[in-house]
Structure 1
Amino acid sequence: MDTYSLLTQDLGEGRVKRQEGLARYTTFKIGGPAEFFYVAQSVEELTKAFLAAKKAGIKFWLLGGGTNTLISDSGLPGLVVKNETRGIKIVRQLGQVKNGKSAVRQALVEADTGALINQLVRFTCDQGFSGLEMHLGLPGTVGGALFMNSKWTHPTAYVGDVLYQAKILTPEGTIKLVNKDYFNFGYDQSILQKTRETVVAAIFLLNKADPEKLWVRAHESMEYRKQTQPMGIQTAGCTFRNIAPAQALRIGTPNQTTSAGYLIDATGLKGAIHGKAHFSDQHANFIINQGGATARDVKWLIDEAKARVQEKFKVTIEPEIVLLGKFN
């Protein structure tokens, strides 16, 4: 039995596509085809796909919102699974009873990793639970936010700050429960970037708050994002991680800024074009697909920025976006 037949047998007739273009599933709108493609709409389907790829002896790729991602022009071999698990629920409310009345102080909110961050933020704001409101407007899914430990800088807030537990698929297809410390969160980092494990759900510990005040903070963060970052265009988000404070001090950047965008701008690359891709005129750490850009166009800009910053400042900037597939 061939690979396609094996996958169809396990995942259902008509559910697996061959040579499905992946550009449409990323915010960059760039990328070649998936050898095999499947949309998982529940944790059960996600688990089935994981096991089906293992059984067929092919590579398993998990794609969420397609943010922070650059897929090669040649595409991806194996099974690419689009994670569209969308469940969000309050699993427990914590507090105490006084004078016969209950006073909720915190809640554990569980979200499937395919749930959109915006969807989760809106749910928690409406329910009156604080901790995620600054992430309104953040593209992508809960899974992607855990993978990158997504942040907001005004004020500084990381998704990992409020994670309580998570559910991870084992190689056998069972689910193990891990605590926050397991992820070893850091700036733009989590252990998932090394282990590439599949997380199916995240549980957040959030504090009770006034929904109206939460929405005010959420919209303030959203407005700041609109003013400082390109929005509504074809981009993967910030291209490079910021440098360490010690590096900024050594270089002598203005106000000890750690901004990778500042370094790229200082090399003269702000607004630079290669093919159909260019560094944003608004924020030099964003590469924009003008329409029809290839992964090769974007990779050239990435390599050029790294080389110029290294030459001018003697510091290496590391990509924040994840490159998937083969790049020459």
Structure 2
Amino acid sequence: MGRVLTLKRLDASRRRIQLIAIVGLVNLAGMAASAELIQRTFPVAANATLLLRSHSGKIKIQGWDQAQIEIKGDRASELVDVSIMGEEQKVVVQTHLTREKLSPDEARVDFEIRVPRQAIVRVESERGTVSVQNVEGSVTVETVSSSVELFRLKGNISARTMDGPIVIRSAEGRVTADSISGDISFAQVNSTELVGTTNAGIIRYEGEFGMDGSYVLNNYSSPIVIVTSNRASFDVTARAVSGSIENNLDIRPIPMGSPLRPSTPGKFLQGRFNGGRSTVKVSSYSGTIKLQGSGTAAASVR
């Protein structure tokens, strides 16, 4: 009798294990079904506009030599709707939450998009990452906490975040980068007009201040680091109200006839580096401003 009861218990345990396994497979199938791959292609004009509004996810946009916009999306769940509307001059992609208070993972939609090189790109994102590269039209990115990476761009650039970092590399045209608390980094950016502003983030510029441009770097409480080479040519005015200035560049007095204020060691610096072709203005209220040659060992910015 005891053996029969034991066998019955074993059979019941096996059935429970099988049931759990079946339920698990059903749940996995449901998760796979809830995810959705999106793919659309629109023939467009060479200078068409792409407008993308996204709540959460990775966004990667690249220019290519095709007269079409190709959209690939990976939707994490059915809790997010994706609407796509396209015509020759404009393609609009938007994500819509089906209910409030979704987690970032639930609201996530990852996009990989290709656009004509001359296209105009505008992205609005709340969280995630935004990458735009190889585009010659204007690029505008506005985010809350997304990180922004912009590479090899030739048109005008506007990048704004609340607390996400901004990286702009190998770019031309007019550039505006603005963040409340995110870091801003420029590398090999030559512009007729560049403005970088952040309240609490670090600003770093590595390059030669080319195109006889105007460069303005401002923040409130964090370091501003400038790393340049002997090929650069600019007039500089740097001001640290309650912070300090550290300089190892050969900054010479501006020739007679030019407006000049006496330099205050460690607080105010004005002068010319090489021929003075571009204009550089740097200011920080309580941060440290560092001007370094490109051969100088990288200094800590904290």
> Normalization by structure 1: what TM-score?
0.25
Return the structure number with greater strand share.
2
Larger Rg, first or second structure (1 or 2): 2
Q: Which has the higher contact order (CA 8 A, sep 6+)?
A: 1
> Normalization by structure 2: what TM-score?
0.27
Return the structure number with greater helix share.
1
